[in-house]
Amino acid sequence: MTDAEIAAIAEKVAKQAVDETLRRLNLNDDDSGKDVHDLRELLSSWRSAKKTIGTTVTRSVTLFVLGMLALGAVMQVRKHLGSDDLGG
């Protein structure tokens, strides 16, 4: 068997494997390009949502921590000055 024959057989087997894989994934019809585009768009939206959620959670935790620090500072000032001096 020559190198050319081996290459031809390998190419044929590879094409059959690709065709079978696409068939199993149901991506072997005329709408396959649109399906892949839709999947990519969905994945992009998912990544964007994850980023937005992460940013929102980080901002919320930061705001909570800063609020607790401010509350602690106010309580310390009231403790040292006495609550009567601050109108409470």
Q: Tell me the whole-structure pTM to 2 decimals.
A: 0.52
Can you read off the two tokens belonging to residue 34? Answer: 């649109």
Contact 19, 28 (CB under 8 A): yes
Tokens 């602690």 belong to: 72
* pLDDT tens for each residue of 29-72: 888 889 889 999 999 999 999 999 999 999 999 999 999 999 99
- Closest C-alpha to 25, from 43, 44, 46, 39: 39
Share of the chain above pLDDT 70, in %: 93
* pLDDT tens for each residue of 12-31: 999 999 999 999 988 888 88
Higher pLDDT, 88 or 80: 80
Question: What pLDDT is recorded for position 85?
Answer: 56
